[in-house]
Amino acid sequence: MNNYNFRVPTDIRFGKGQISCLADEIGKYGRRVLLTYGGGSIKRTGVYDSVLKVLEGFEIYELSGIEPNPKVTSVREGVRICKEKGIDVILAVGGGSCIDASKHIACAAFYDGDPWDLVLDNSLVKKALPIFTVLTICATGSEMNPGAVISNEETREKLEINHPLLYPTLSVCDPTYLYTLPKSQTAAGTADIISHIFEQYFQPNDGAYLTDRLSEAALKTCFKYGPIALEEPENYEARSNLMWTSTIALNHLLTFGKGGAWSVHPIEHVLSAFYGITHGVGLAILTPAWMRYVLNKDTEKRFAMYARNVWGIMDKNEHYEALKGIEMTEEFFKKMGLPGTLSEVGIDDSQFSEMAKEAVRTSGLQSRSYVKLETEDVEKILRSCL
């Protein structure tokens, strides 16, 4: 196992009715709250009313309309409100997009220049407002990690800001809030969770035995409960298992003792930066293509291990096992109703070369990923998804 520092300071309040803790917990930090949310799902589902009821007596200011793949323009607006109103706490109610924008606002509120500077240079983050979250879609793990992914339309970049000050202080994870998710978001969220696990599992270090077994259990949970959540949106067992899996899939637990750069996310981030597609959809399309591309004599063993331990595939031929595991993964995404090709989501090859360059420029693909990828490799992977 590699050396590893593990400290996750976020307080998780998991289960039905946990929202009631917010008044006491937020009250420890002040009374002026910036409530952030997306395009209005929380108003339709009633979560908005529950939040206002719990926070009666607090001074609430709102930033609504945070878009999926959140933009720096929303962050700038949030920072303006924080500075003007002397906000004490940010409460993000929604998914990764809303939480990520809120993290960025939380630190940009203490920065005098443009918020985008902090994305380009994370070391400029010196201070941040406390961030509370109420999670309404399980996918990104943003509720218990220090990362935020922000898009800049002007530069067509989608980049991460990551800093220990950006761990949420407390996150309310109530699985019943997931009941209203449309099928497409349940499917995309599950694909994102699975991809996070893969990104950490498919790394060269074979010595982190426990971490690998935890990852396999997390994958099995997604494969078991994803289809159930799709068919029975109010199945508490399915929703609660997926919700906790999404949190642990990206709170550093599954990378403990391992490390290395991610492979598929950097490629997906350019897809959503250029075409605005749903993150989990892009991952579902790219993942099987990436797996096939990097399968070789060196990687075969780990892919076969995945196939055996997660899918129960047993054969004398490791290469066959590995291929079968990839096939099962692809079948699973299909079963979840996710698109299998870029053409299905209206993406052609016209910008592949530019996108491949951007993916390599903004990541560790060339130097630290499971199988190192050059621009030409990324372009080939994209082409195989058409």
**Residues within the interface to Zn ion (CB under 5 A):** 192
> Residue 65: which residues within 8 A CB-CB, separation 6 or more?
38, 39, 74
Quickly count: other Cβ atoms within 10 Å of residue 381's Cβ.
23
| Type of residue at 352 | F
Write out the binding residues for ligand NZQ, residues 263-302 only, by CB under 6 A: 265, 279
The one segment of 9-17, 172-180, 223-231, 341-349 that binds ligand NZQ by CB under 6 A? 172-180
| 8 A C-beta contact, residue 176 and residue 235 | no
Q: How far is the CB of 190 from ligand NZQ (least distance, A)?
A: 10
The one segment of 71-79, 146-154, 328-336, 344-352 that binds ligand NZQ by CB under 6 A? 146-154
Residue 189 interacts with, from ligand NZQ, Zn ion, none (CB under 5-8 Å by kind)? ligand NZQ
What is the spatial distance between Cα 250 and Cα 222, in angstroms, rounded to a whole number?
Answer: 14
Binding ligand NZQ (rule: CB under 6 A), the pick from 36, 74, 140, 211 is: 140
Binding ligand NZQ (rule: CB under 6 A), the pick from 168, 189, 226, 227 is: 189
Site string for ligand NZQ, 192-221 (x = CB under 6 A): x-----------------------------
Write out the binding residues for ligand NZQ, residues 7-46 only, by CB under 6 A: 38-42, 45
Q: How far is the CB of 333 from ligand NZQ (least distance, A)?
A: 15
Q: How far is the CB of 107 from ligand NZQ (least distance, A)?
A: 14
Question: What DSSP designation does 148 have?
Answer: E
Tokens for 7? 């400290």
| Type of residue at 253 | L
**CB closer to ligand NZQ out of 140 and 329:** 140
Q: Could you tell me whether strands 11-14 and 157-162 are parallel, antiparallel, or unpaired per DSSP bridges?
A: unpaired
Residue 248 interacts with, from ligand NZQ, Zn ion, none (CB under 5-8 Å by kind)? none
Q: Which of 120, 383, 149, 100 is nearest to 265 (CA)?
A: 149
Binding ligand NZQ (rule: CB under 6 A), the pick from 19, 125, 129, 181 is: 181
Buried/exposed code over 10-25 (b: 16+ C-beta within 10 A; e: otherwise): bebbeeeebbeebeeb
**CB closer to Zn ion out of 249 and 305:** 249
The one segment of 109-117, 184-192, 209-217, 358-366 that binds ligand NZQ by CB under 6 A? 184-192
| Type of residue at 282 | G
Query: Cα dist. 377→68, 110, 353 in Å?
Result: 29, 41, 11
Q: Does 68 bind ligand NZQ (CB under 6 A)?
A: yes
H-state helical runs in 202-235: 209-231
Measured from each CB, the residue nearest to Zn ion is: 192
Residue 68 interacts with, from Zn ion, ligand NZQ, none (CB under 5-8 Å by kind)? ligand NZQ
Q: Is the dihedral of CA 158, 125, 91, 73 positive or negative?
A: negative
Binding ligand NZQ (rule: CB under 6 A), the pick from 35, 128, 243, 250 is: 250
| Type of residue at 362 | T
**CB closer to ligand NZQ out of 252 and 292:** 252
> Residue 166: which residues within 8 A CB-CB, separation 6 or more?
103, 106, 107, 125, 128, 131, 146, 147, 148
Quickly count: other Cβ atoms within 10 Å of residue 380's Cβ.
15
**CB closer to ligand NZQ out of 39 and 204:** 39
Residues that bind ligand NZQ (CB under 6 A): 38-42, 45, 68-69, 94-98, 100, 136-137, 139-142, 145, 147-149, 177-178, 180-181, 185, 189, 192, 250, 265, 279
